Structure 1
């Protein structure tokens, strides 16, 4: 599981809406193709399945509407200074509908906030789409020109298992290609960025609360593009596993998340090589910058609800520890 969690730092905890849109489109095309194939066999069976699926969805939506609070508390911290309060909630950027609604203490913290902050404002689709050029090679090259033979073999193995034709994604850079492929794999395993915790709170905040960003898509894409081909392949391609293992790892990850067990989560994360350029850029530098930004919120007089990848909040180099080292009292809720 540890190799998967390390990948989660780079992928699950970095998936953005623009990736969700592309992955969702690819998955939808796959689903449409399957539906057409079923129709060739027997249209009546398809109609029955559609009716059953529609009834199941309606039943779940009705049950969800009636349920105001759930059992999942996850990882929530509170930071105070004078009359200003900042909540920090650790996110996993994929999920399923059964996660929601969250525990009352989490939902109440969100409701009491004036400003909701994510790593990226995923409701601003226009801004995200404007950054799409950063995901692709613009000089006629493809991802295959930048991968080792081992990397190409890994892609073929994963795509064969998923029955996924990656021809249209060949112009994607290694990190974005790996993110799309991983997102598709996770969707096949039953987990979707549309049900990610970031997306959940962003959708609730849209039109109701002020939304701000800790980093923004441009910053994140610039950072990822500055990794070498070797670093990108190591962390975004070679760490891909098979579908069965991905589902097993995700199931275990969410069990730990639902329990709110920080020690178990840290154990699952395992030891990272803190001397690498990858760790410095992906984790340490970002945590320092996000800590500074969160500290600035304490001077505004508003209540903030910050949603950031859980891996950024916990651990010796985590945001919670950095704030404590600065003398702040950070309370786990």
Structure 2
């Protein structure tokens, strides 16, 4: 049950980990993308031998409207060099696209560190130590100390932001990281190939959701993250493997039991439900325009598998959505 929040973040919202990483991480992202591109070029012969539907990843759907084609690709906001290139079906769908639509363009739309701090810090005289239960604060302080950090320096920050820092610490001990994320892979390729990039959301909207949670919800989710910290790296790697294997059943059930875990309904409503409805409405507008172009949408996999999902919303609007791979 504890892994539920980790799963939801890395399939719905962990793009903000990259944004919280700063300029040094951005440079690392560029290096990782260059390495992935080089690996893709040198792996050409292998790709030719690999059949579509037998490679890395999955979660690819397709919807058509008149002369317009739209591919829907579920991603994971983590990865490593071994992820790439992805399955030929995914690579071919991307290559055919005239326009790509991410949640937001991490390469160009990331808020400044000052703007992030404005979302992250308390607006009154509250402190993290005052807000958290004493036991949770002490456990969190121990985790920070193990990583050479002092939790007291984080006392001005709200629980949601400290949770992001905790998840970043988890990635440092795992074999996947936010700088090799599938989203960044596609964004780098789209930029190199001169494809049009149209964001479905903005970084500011995502930070507003996270910082907009009630303090009760923020504390609940941080408590759960602290409780599951010791197993989190292994769980993160397991979730990455599930994505690479195209395990759709694992994705469909990742949100089961969040109420049992004691998390407010507010959490899923803001993190998943409202965002999926808004993104589906935006895609519906594009499909109705019927420009005759090919679109490649790539957002966290849970947006396509956790109801109300983008797919169920499009189907409710009358579209036939085909699961390609």
TM range (shorter): 0.7 to 0.9
Deviation of 1:272 (Å): 3.6
Larger deviation: 59-68 or 248-257? 59-68
Deviation of 1:135 (Å): 2.4
For structure 1, list consecutive stretches of 5 or more residues without a partner in the other structure.
28-57
Cα distance change of structure 1 residues 241 and 116 upon mapping to structure 2, 3 Å threshold: farther
Deviation of 1:81 (Å): 0.4
Deviation of 1:130 (Å): 6.6
Q: Which residue of 2 aligns with 1:201?
A: 186
Q: Deviations over 1:41-94 (max 9, x none)?
A: xxxxxxxxxxxxxxxxx9998655301447213211111101111111111111
Cα distance change of structure 1 residues 104 and 238 upon mapping to structure 2, 3 Å threshold: same
Q: In the aligned structure 1, how far is the partner of 2:188 from the partner of 2:153?
A: 30
Say whether 1:327 aligns with 2:318.
Answer: yes
Cα distance change of structure 1 residues 179 and 119 upon mapping to structure 2, 3 Å threshold: same
Deviation of 1:179 (Å): 0.7
Select which of 141, 152, 164 maps to 2:149: 164
Alignment of 1:23-102 (within 5 A): 24=25, 63-68=39-44, 69=47, 71-102=55-86
Q: In the aligned structure 2, how far is the partner of 1:181 from the partner of 1:78?
A: 36
Matched residue SS, 1:131 = helix
Say whether 1:217 aligns with 2:203.
Answer: yes
Matched residue SS, 1:240 = helix
Matched residue SS, 2:226 = coil
Q: Which residue of 2 aligns with 1:37?
A: none
Matched residue SS, 2:225 = coil
Q: Deviations over 1:223-272 (max 9, x none)?
A: 22221112012123432356651222122212221221212332444334
Q: In the aligned structure 1, how far is the partner of 2:232 from the partner of 2:9?
A: 15
Matched residue SS, 1:94 = coil
The answer to whether the Cα contact below 8 Å between 2:62 and 2:321 also exists between their aligned partners in 1 is yes
**Structure 1 length normalisation: TM-score?**
0.80
Alignment of 1:13-24 (within 5 A): 13-15=12-14, 16=16, 17-21=18-22, 24=25
Q: In the aligned structure 2, how far is the partner of 1:84 from the partner of 1:62?
A: 32
Greater C-alpha radius of gyration: 1
Select which of 119, 134, 141 maps to 1:134: 119
Q: Which residue of 2 aligns with 1:5?
A: 4
Structure with the larger RCO, 1 or 2 (CA within 8 Å, 6+ apart): 2
Matched residue SS, 1:87 = strand
Q: Which residue of 2 aligns with 1:308?
A: 299
Superposed CA RMSD in Å reads: 2.9
Deviation of 1:191 (Å): 1.6
Larger deviation: 265-274 or 186-195? 265-274
Q: Which residue of 1 aligns with 2:128?
A: 143
Cα distance change of structure 1 residues 297 and 168 upon mapping to structure 2, 3 Å threshold: farther
The answer to whether the Cα contact below 8 Å between 1:189 and 1:247 also exists between their aligned partners in 2 is yes
Larger deviation: 218-227 or 99-108? 218-227
Number of matched residues? 301
Q: Which residue of 2 aligns with 1:235?
A: 221
The answer to whether the Cα contact below 8 Å between 2:12 and 2:271 also exists between their aligned partners in 1 is no
Matched residue SS, 2:198 = strand
Say whether 1:111 aligns with 2:95.
Answer: yes
The answer to whether the Cα contact below 8 Å between 2:61 and 2:72 also exists between their aligned partners in 1 is yes
Q: Which residue of 2 aligns with 1:281?
A: 270
Q: Which residue of 2 aligns with 1:271?
A: 257
Q: Which residue of 1 aligns with 2:279?
A: 290
Cα distance change of structure 1 residues 92 and 86 upon mapping to structure 2, 3 Å threshold: same
Q: In the aligned structure 2, how far is the partner of 1:320 from the partner of 1:260?
A: 17
Select which of 162, 185, 195 maps to 1:177: 162
Q: In the aligned structure 2, how far is the partner of 1:147 from the partner of 1:156?
A: 12
